[in-house]
A and B are shown apart, each in its own frame.
Chain A
Amino acid sequence: MAIIEVKDLTKIYGNGDNAVRALDSINLSIEEGKFVAVMGPSGCGKSTLLHLIGGLDRPTSGSVMIEGKDIAKMKDDQLTELRRRKMGFIFQFFNLIPVLNAAENAALPLILDGVKQERAKARAMEWLQKNQLGDRSTHRPDELSGGQQQRVAIARAMISNPLIILADEPTGNLDTRSGDEIASVLRSLVSDWGRTVLMVTHDPRIAAYADRIIFLKDGKIVDDTLMSSDAPENARRLKEKVESL
């Protein structure tokens, strides 16, 4: 069953002569429990697509259906609740709160949902331990490495048991090894935890961990490929495809 369904989705920034068509009538369906990567050159609209699916922005026209509900028509409070309970976000620059420690950062979505802090932190600890950060739970972001910070962000994204994880260039700010680690974690969220992951990346090596790659160019989908389970082979093929596009 399609957990995400996008119909004739368009996003235009600016107006008149300055108008920029970031997305141009995109149609897309994503099955539950799949790992989908979105690739394309700079300015192709991949982040815009992610933002619209995540309810972070409103489309100019078209619809975004999450579990059969059109989120484009939702009011702000409904969208906010959706993001809090049904979605998890992972950003390129981690976006952790600098004054909170790892456990508090991870627990944030539950705390914002009104769960008592002790319970929320206990759950956060579970996810931090799963991400091998149990002993760093009291450290603030400036005391963690980039990879560790991103794993805290993953714990935060998973803590409210969301249906969908949206990752925007999650490895963009990391070294190769850390990037691979993060990509593996994302992979395990799908295979071990049954989540749906939608990831934007420009790195074929990272995209190779996905089940399906969607290529965007000038706001349109230009390719949609299913991937095999061999990550290195996928990476090679993707690199060729990116160069050809």
Chain B
Amino acid sequence: MKGQFLLAYRYLTGRKQRMVLTTLAVVFGVAVLFGMNAMLPGIITAFRHSMITAAGKVDLSISSKSNGPFNQSIMDTIQNAEGISVSTGILQRNVQIPESLGGTTDPITRSASITLNGLDVETARLVRRYQLSEGRFLEPGDTDQAVISYSLAQKMDKKVGDTLTIPSSQGKADLIVVGILTQFESTTVDEVYVTLPTAQRILGLEGQITVIDMLLDGQVDKATVEKNLLQSLGGGFKSGQVELGNELSAALEMGESVMWLFGIMALAMAAFIIYNTFRTVVAERRRDLGMLRAIGASRKTVMGIILTESLLQGIIGTFLGLVTGYAIAYGILQGLGPMIEAFMRAQVGPPEITAANLAASTLLGIGFTVGSSYLPSRTAMKITPMEALRPVTLLVERRRRLLRAAIGAILIALSIVGLITGDLPVASLSTLAFLVGLIMVIPVLVKPIASTFGRLLSVIYAREGTLAQGNLYRQPSRAAVTASAMMIGLAVTIAMIGLVTSVFDGFIRYLDRSLGSDYLLMPSSLVLGGGNLGAAPEFARRLEKLEGNSGVTTLRLASTQTKGAALQVIGIDPQKYPEISGLEFSQGDPFQSFSALGSGRSIIVNGIFATSSAVKVGDTLLLETPEGEKEYQVVGVAMDYLNAKIATGYISQAFLEEDFHITTDVLIMANRKEGANQTAVDAEIKAAAKDYPAFTLFDAEAFKKSQMEVFQSSMSMMNALVFMLAIPGLIAMANTLGISIIERTREIGMLRAVGSTQKQVKRMVFAESLLLSALGTSLGILVGIFLSYYLLKAVNFAGFTLDFYFPGLGILVAIAVGLLFGILAAMVPARQAARTVIVEALRYE
């Protein structure tokens, strides 16, 4: 290694403060990247584990590709199939038990989740073992008897002989506990076993099952049996269990992408800081590097010293970043655990370290660090022995700077045009061009911006301000790079705050449009699927007959697969739904779309599905249904509030019944008659809803208010993430000021020698810091406005129609943050500068 490691190690350990600050930037970047991505897989895995599984207990399972119920007459085909020893049909659904029926008192959902399993008692025990700790198993004549899991018995304090009341499509069902499974028999979910007819009655799915479990004959080839069986059943079936909630996976996976994006941005800003540090390091060590060249170090050796130094920092920073990231993820999961358990029925364990995340975070952490030192190392490589003894002329640097600025200005102009007039790909390129252009222009802007703010600063820092300005003019490139790190952090803050404002406004509109009715009857859990049991149509009919109601409409729910993705299917009444509620359309005419729904197999898809599956009006979708594949024509792209984040399609309730066999309502909306007494109507509806404990009555205005609160609190988490991205800017400034103080040791000694007080030296450093932050903030505002417009374009492209709001609040926040950072970053360097020992400083080389 020809001394590179020795020199790199010594230089690193010789400048501890700088090493700490630079390494901190890497730690931060890797922590965000690794930590965020260790969190989400854990949640996704737990979520998938919470789905129904009897994995490993049977030889083969068959379920519908649509993950929905299918006719139990399929059993005849199964029983006659070759290679099957014994088979049993099961009806499985997740059901939420509200607090009113003894569910948990979780503050968020006030419900417990169970899996209801309807078993064919005659064949179930032939296929799988059910071991009991108490009581007996189900018997063929049982109607309201149930066997429950050990964990459920513990949670709800149930013994053999007790009554367990659960919601049903007819309101509620009282089940007598006749047996409790052993602790080791249970899976991760709380289970209730009833006879198949009982489950079909409770769920309103007469004659339906969701999965067939089988044991095979000895000596048969499983793959052959499976293949033959699926062929004989036709195309609508798959091997494996039902995967409920799969449509939520798409949203969770999108969350993963967002986390990666945040992580990469944090690392990119770390790269700025490292680049700045090494640029300065190379300039500072010109004499050393020239001397090394003089005594025989080759250019490659000199380059290698810089790269080795950055590699060491990258390794240390990445390692610490991984540890920190894990700790942050652990802390966040501990905090969010109860909420995730309640919403998704998933028990979240510690953060999940996937090989991919670990490898990617390590490679990116080290890669970004070494990569950002590459250009400075090339500069170092070019230092000749003579250059170390004579400085480079200022004229040459200035000419280069002006040329770069001219190119940058052209790029900026072109990018603005591209952003406003172009589509998303053009706008994306324009954003990149804008950033590159601005970075090229910044060194030339240092003097005018510093001079402008210098005049303001001179009100407080009359004499020191002039010195501070001079310090910036002397090193415009270094000031520019420092400002860039701050600029990006603040720009993202401004853009995200602007986006949040737009999103907030947009969601208020969705809320008003799609929840425009006076009353909402819906399950406590806000996610429509995920175990919320629907009510038979009788409930809605009962509500319609009430004196005070002017109209009732309902939503029904199924799931399917299409274009290789999971899709939640919502059944609506195409006539009543738009009268009482509505959808926010981004493609297609609302009137024509709803009419089309009523006249044929048509579907309105939401933006998130349309974008992820590249679907538009006029396309045809093949939906997997229990009746096989069915063709639906896309007639519109629109969204409603509750389902905006999940891939969703809206079809008529008539076709939902015909193709998916779903007739139960999961959400009911009702309007009060004009002039009717509100209190009386409220009481009427409450009385009707009493028999359906799974449903909670919401006053629409109160519900909207609660939604805004939920939205605001989830945006707080987003804001916290966004503010985190501003932190590297603070590190960058502290780093730059620290380096600058060391470089100017002799100069500061001279200032003190000729009569400057310690206080004046401190004020000079503070003034310089404030000027740097003014530069970074001004540029951050420019980029923030650009970015905020771009992000909105991206969101609109993704199918969420939102309006642009000028990020006024974001700009104010950025100015406050910039000012704060200007002060914070200067604190330690100012104190160090003030404490300079004069005689030592004058001797400093």
Return chain A residues, CB-CB under 8 Å to B719: none
Return chain B residues, CB-CB under 8 Å to A51: 385-386, 389
Let me know if A112 and B292 touch, CB within 8 A: yes
Determine how close the nearest CB of chain B comes to the CB of A198; give it in whole angstroms. 14
Question: Can you identify 16 A-B contacts, CB atoms within 8 angstroms?
Answer: A54-B294, A56-B385, A56-B386, A57-B385, A80-B298, A83-B294, A84-B297, A88-B295, A93-B287, A95-B291, A95-B294, A104-B6, A112-B2, A112-B3, A112-B301, A113-B2
What is the CA–CA distance of A89 and B295 in the complex, to the nearest angstrom? 7
User: Which of B10-18, B117-125, B135-143 forms part of the interface with chain A?
Assistant: B10-18
Return chain B residues, CB-CB under 8 Å to A80: 293, 296-299
Question: What per-residue 1/0 map shows which CB atoms of A81-119 lie under 8 Å from chain B?
Answer: 101110011010101011110001000110111100100
Interface residue? A76 (CB, 8 A): yes
Closest A-B pairs by Cβ, 9 of them: A84-B296, A99-B14, A99-B10, A111-B3, A56-B385, A95-B291, A83-B296, A57-B386, A112-B297
Within 8 A of A (CB), among B241-299: 287-288, 291-299
Which residue numbers of A lie inside 8 Å of B, CB to CB?
51, 54, 56-57, 76-77, 80-81, 83-85, 88-89, 91, 93, 95, 97-100, 104, 108-109, 111-114, 117, 156, 160
Q: Which of B295, B299, B384, B389 contacts A108 (CB 8 A)?
A: B295
Determine how close the nearest CB of chain B comes to the CB of A25; give it in whole angstroms. 21
Let me know if A97 and B296 touch, CB within 8 A: no
Let me know if A112 and B299 touch, CB within 8 A: no
- Best-buried of A98, A99, A113 by chain B (most CB within 10 Å): A99
CB-CB nearest in chain A for B15: A99
Let me know if B295 and A156 touch, CB within 8 A: yes
What is the CA–CA distance of A114 and B385 in the complex, to the nearest angstrom? 20
Determine how close the nearest CB of chain B comes to the CB of A82; give it in whole angstroms. 8
Interface residue? B681 (CB, 8 A): no
Interface residue? B221 (CB, 8 A): no
Q: Which of A77, A100, A109 contacts B295 (CB 8 A)?
A: A109
Determine how close the nearest CB of chain A comes to the CB of B552; give it in whole angstroms. 80
Determine how close the nearest CB of chain A comes to the CB of B241; give it in whole angstroms. 62
What is the CA–CA distance of A17 and B6 in the complex, to the nearest angstrom? 47
Let me know if A100 and B7 touch, CB within 8 A: yes
Interface residue? B845 (CB, 8 A): yes
Let me know if B296 and A112 touch, CB within 8 A: yes
Determine how close the nearest CB of chain B comes to the CB of A152; give it in whole angstroms. 13
Known: A97-B10, A99-B13. A114 touches B2 (CB 8 A): yes
Let me know if B297 and A97 touch, CB within 8 A: no
What is the CA–CA distance of A112 and B845 in the complex, to the nearest angstrom? 24
Determine how close the nearest CB of chain A comes to the CB of B485; give it in whole angstroms. 26
Within 8 A of A (CB), among B357-397: 384-386, 389
| B contacts with A: majority SS | helix
Known: A111-B3, A112-B3. A93 touches B845 (CB 8 A): yes
What is the CA–CA distance of A113 and B295 in the complex, to the nearest angstrom? 10
- Best-buried of A84, A93, A97, A156 by chain B (most CB within 10 Å): A97
What is the CA–CA distance of A112 and B3 in the complex, to the nearest angstrom? 6
Let me know if A95 and B288 touch, CB within 8 A: yes
Return chain A residues, CB-CB under 8 Å to B301: 112
Q: Which of B7, B294, B298, B384 contacts A97 (CB 8 A)?
A: B7
Return chain A residues, CB-CB under 8 Å to B294: 54, 56, 83, 89, 95
What is the CA–CA distance of A113 and B385 in the complex, to the nearest angstrom? 17
Let me know if A98 and B6 touch, CB within 8 A: no
What is the CA–CA distance of A99 and B12 in the complex, to the nearest angstrom? 9
What is the CA–CA distance of A51 and B6 in the complex, to the nearest angstrom? 28
Determine how close the nearest CB of chain A comes to the CB of B297; give it in whole angstroms. 5
Let me know if B2 and A111 touch, CB within 8 A: yes
What is the CA–CA distance of A98 and B287 in the complex, to the nearest angstrom? 11
Return chain B residues, CB-CB under 8 Å to A98: 14, 288
Return chain A residues, CB-CB under 8 Å to B2: 111-114
Let me know if A108 and B298 touch, CB within 8 A: no
What is the CA–CA distance of A112 and B295 in the complex, to the nearest angstrom? 9
Return chain A residues, CB-CB under 8 Å to B7: 97, 99-100
Return chain A residues, CB-CB under 8 Å to B298: 77, 80, 112
What is the CA–CA distance of A89 and B6 in the complex, to the nearest angstrom? 21
What is the CA–CA distance of A99 and B285 in the complex, to the nearest angstrom? 11
CB-CB nearest in chain B for A166: B294
Determine how close the nearest CB of chain B comes to the CB of A96; give it in whole angstroms. 8
CB-CB nearest in chain A for B393: A14
What is the CA–CA distance of A160 and B297 in the complex, to the nearest angstrom? 13
- Best-buried of B7, B288, B294, B298 by chain A (most CB within 10 Å): B294
Within 8 A of A (CB), among B803-845: 845
What is the CA–CA distance of A224 and B14 in the complex, to the nearest angstrom? 47
What is the CA–CA distance of A84 and B298 in the complex, to the nearest angstrom? 9
Let me know if A84 and B385 touch, CB within 8 A: no
CB-CB nearest in chain A for B840: A142
Let me know if A97 and B295 touch, CB within 8 A: no
Within 8 A of A (CB), among B1-41: 2-3, 6-7, 10-11, 13-14
Determine how close the nearest CB of chain B comes to the CB of A203; give it in whole angstroms. 20
Determine how close the nearest CB of chain A comes to the CB of B254; give it in whole angstroms. 49
What is the CA–CA distance of A95 and B3 in the complex, to the nearest angstrom? 17
CB-CB nearest in chain B for A81: B296
Let me know if A84 and B10 touch, CB within 8 A: no
Determine how close the nearest CB of chain B comes to the CB of A113; give it in whole angstroms. 7
- Best-buried of A76, A95, A109, A114 by chain B (most CB within 10 Å): A95
Determine how close the nearest CB of chain A comes to the CB of B306; give it in whole angstroms. 14
Return chain A residues, CB-CB under 8 Å to B293: 80
Known: A97-B7, A98-B14, A99-B10. A76 touches B299 (CB 8 A): yes
Q: Which of B11, B287, B389 contacts A99 (CB 8 A)?
A: B11
Let me know if A113 and B296 touch, CB within 8 A: yes
Return chain B residues, CB-CB under 8 Å to A117: 6
CB-CB nearest in chain B for A104: B6
Determine how close the nearest CB of chain B comes to the CB of A105; give it in whole angstroms. 10
Return chain A residues, CB-CB under 8 Å to B291: 89, 91, 95, 97
What is the CA–CA distance of A96 and B301 in the complex, to the nearest angstrom? 17
Question: What per-residue 1/0 map shows which CB atoms of B600-631 lie under 8 Å from chain A?
Answer: 00000000000000000000000000000000
